[in-house]
A and B are shown apart, each in its own frame.
Chain A
Amino acid sequence: DAKTTQPTSMDCAEGRAANLPCNHSTISGNEYVYWYRQIHSQGPQYIIHGLKNNETNEMASLIITEDRKSSTLILPHATLRDTAVYYCIVRVADGGFKTIFGAGTRLFVKA
């Protein structure tokens, strides 16, 4: 599985959109982009994933560039409960067993 690069930390004002970037310049054609988040002392929670097209669900939106070398996770109206570590990972289409989880981005949502 390809590696990803994320900023160490970001701040966001409550009620504003949080835009979390991720670089995955070595991504292969059969690899999906996945986002998870982890609140302290809990297991990571799945947020969203995509291959080529932009995706949206009840939690977030995922914007993938046309060359697929980077993506952005958007939390449209951040709340204090969105304060967490956000992980961007890539996984092959048939699963893959050695997915790399880096240190992620620590998002602080401030009142």
Chain B
Amino acid sequence: DGGITQSPKYLFRKEGQNVTLSCEQNLNHDAMYWYRQDPGQGLRLIYYSQIVNDFQKGDIAEGYSVSREKKESFPLTVTSAQKNPTAFYLCASTENSGNTIYFGEGSWLTVV
């Protein structure tokens, strides 16, 4: 079945370490997104990418980095510069000409 796969579902990180969250989609969508969600809050946009080898900062990009080397993949690295990284991270995708946003199942990151 077509969809978006995020891994791992749960991840623990020590302070000062970088960690990379994986996002893969087989929907042939052009655009991909990363959102952060804190408990009881809405979704905040971290980065988005409209096409391969291009990406744009969202509202809260500081302390994060991304790459888009392949159409189906959009990994997110949470760097040690992110002061409060513990959160639920969601990857999403859309057709560039489409309206509906499709989401992955999310990844929980906890800094210990």
Q: A residues bordering B, Cβ < 8 Å?
A: 32, 34, 36, 41-46, 49, 87, 91, 93-95, 97-104
Contact partners of A104 in chain B: CB under 8 A = 42
Shortest Cβ distance from residue B45 to the other chain A in the assembled complex, whole angstroms: 6
Cα–Cα, bound, A45→B48 (Å): 19
Do A95 and B35 have beta carbons less than 8 Å apart?
Answer: no
Interface size class of B (residues with CB under 8 A): 20 to 34
Do B96 and A95 have beta carbons less than 8 Å apart?
Answer: yes
Do A41 and B106 have beta carbons less than 8 Å apart?
Answer: yes
Contact partners of A44 in chain B: CB under 8 A = 43, 90, 101, 103
Cα–Cα, bound, A11→B6 (Å): 32
Residues of B68-112 contacting chain A, CB below 8 A: 88, 90, 92, 94-106, 108
